[in-house]
Amino acid sequence: MTRYFQSEKLIVAFALLCLLPAAVFAQNNGGPRMDHENTLPPTPVGPTPMAPDGHPDLTGLWNGLADNLLGVPNQMHNVGIEVGTDSTRDIYSGVQIATWPLQNRKRQNNEQNERAATLLRRMGSNRPIYKPQYWQRVKDFDANSNEEDPSNNCMPAGVPRMGVPSYIAQTPTYLIFVYPGQGGLIATATSYRMIPTDGRKHTNLEDLDGTWNGESIGHWEGDTMVVDSIGFNSTSWFDQLGGYFHSENMHVIERFHRDGNTLSWTVTVEDPDVLLEPWTTTPRVVLLNPDPKAILLESLPCSERDFAHVVTKEHH
């Protein structure tokens, strides 16, 4: 037992060393890294550029937040928690959450930091409502995600778990989304989507082979780009954390709305096989990279993370 404990400590230390390249890489991805004092969404600045067809132009490098997930909103924001300097709010419920000022913050070591992160990532109230027979499965998946997470071993995150694209190119008939992979311990493979916006209809579901990203088709509803996707495999989870599995009947509706230099992304997941009702994420807002010359740098190769994560379930 003691031998195991000592080995465990060594492996944890090694895992933390493995984390370093990811952290360093995240600081060099083309955007200004912000040492966040809050997780409030960025305030829109400037006019919204319009495409020749009269719709907003979504084209741009959307990694201006440049935090540890390549510019997408950090994970506190992803669970719908807005942390300010002296107040915190659950966006979904509107509930105010007790907050203690930074200067009074208790010191903690890396292990405490990791455990706190696990709690922080899961404290939001906006959770999908599964049918009761699946409640235990979701809990088990989340608790054992170091072994069960389908994105382990460099597998794709899939739609919508892959989040907001870091780069969007908009043409009159297509959208191109690019999702850079992340190396190190936070391992995801680079991915892309080519989304027709030419008015075509979905293929019949029964004629589609289920895939990670499904079949996506976009259309405009006013100034909002709506990307509708069907035809998934049942392998992926549909949010970054939580063990939220789905069936092949999942239907995903993404809504992109540009306001100046910000882009809001909201997702609705329908899956009558496993969910009691459709689930809609709290909006996640990304920021345009302020550097007009910024480009997406090459991602580090995805490295399997089983070794690090098999050690403990506390930091997943």
Question: Of 62 and 244, which CB lies nearer to other proteins in the complex structure?
Answer: 244
| CB 219 to other proteins: min, Å | 32
Q: Which of 276, 273, 277, 138 is nearest to 205 (CA)?
A: 273
The radius of gyration of the chain's CA atoms, rounded to the nearest angstrom, is 20
Q: Is 138 in the site for other proteins (CB under 8 A)?
A: yes
CA pair distance 235, 240, nearest whole angstrom: 14
What does the per-residue mask of binding to other proteins show for 29-48, with x meaning CB under 8 A? -----xxxxxx---------
- Are 314 and 114 contacting, i.e. CB atoms less than 8 angstroms apart? yes
Interface pick for other proteins out of 10, 13, 17, 97 (rule CB under 8 A): 97
Three-point CA angle 31, 219, 255, nearest 5° = 50
| CB 100 to other proteins: min, Å | 4
Question: Of 82 and 223, which CB lies nearer to other proteins in the complex structure?
Answer: 82
Q: Is 86 in the site for other proteins (CB under 8 A)?
A: yes
| CB 1 to other proteins: min, Å | 7
- Are 161 and 150 contacting, i.e. CB atoms less than 8 angstroms apart? no
What does the per-residue mask of binding to other proteins show for 258-297, with x meaning CB under 8 A? ------------------x---------------------
CA pair distance 268, 250, nearest whole angstrom: 10
| CB 229 to other proteins: min, Å | 24
DSSP H or E segment with residue 194 = strand 191-196
DSSP 8-state symbol, 236: S
Q: Which residues of 293-310 are buried (b: 16+ CB within 10 A; e: fewer)?
A: ebebeebbebbebeebbe
Q: Which of 72, 63, 66, 61 is nearest to 34 (CA)?
A: 66
- Are 220 and 226 contacting, i.e. CB atoms less than 8 angstroms apart? yes
Stretch that binds other proteins, among 111-119, 150-158, 199-207, 294-302 (CB under 8 A): 111-119
Interface pick for other proteins out of 125, 235, 249, 266 (rule CB under 8 A): 125
Question: Of 122 and 200, which CB lies nearer to other proteins in the complex structure?
Answer: 122
Q: Is 164 in the site for other proteins (CB under 8 A)?
A: no
Stretch that binds other proteins, among 127-135, 152-160, 190-198, 216-224 (CB under 8 A): 127-135
Q: Is 203 in the site for other proteins (CB under 8 A)?
A: no
Is the Cα dihedral 142, 148, 153, 156 positive or negative?
Answer: negative
Helix (H, G, I), strand (E, B) or coil at 21: helix
Q: Which residues bind other proteins (CB under 8 A)?
A: 1-3, 6, 34-39, 67-68, 74-77, 81, 83, 85-86, 88, 90, 93, 95, 97-102, 104-106, 108, 112-125, 127, 129-133, 135, 138-139, 142-143, 242-243, 276, 312-314
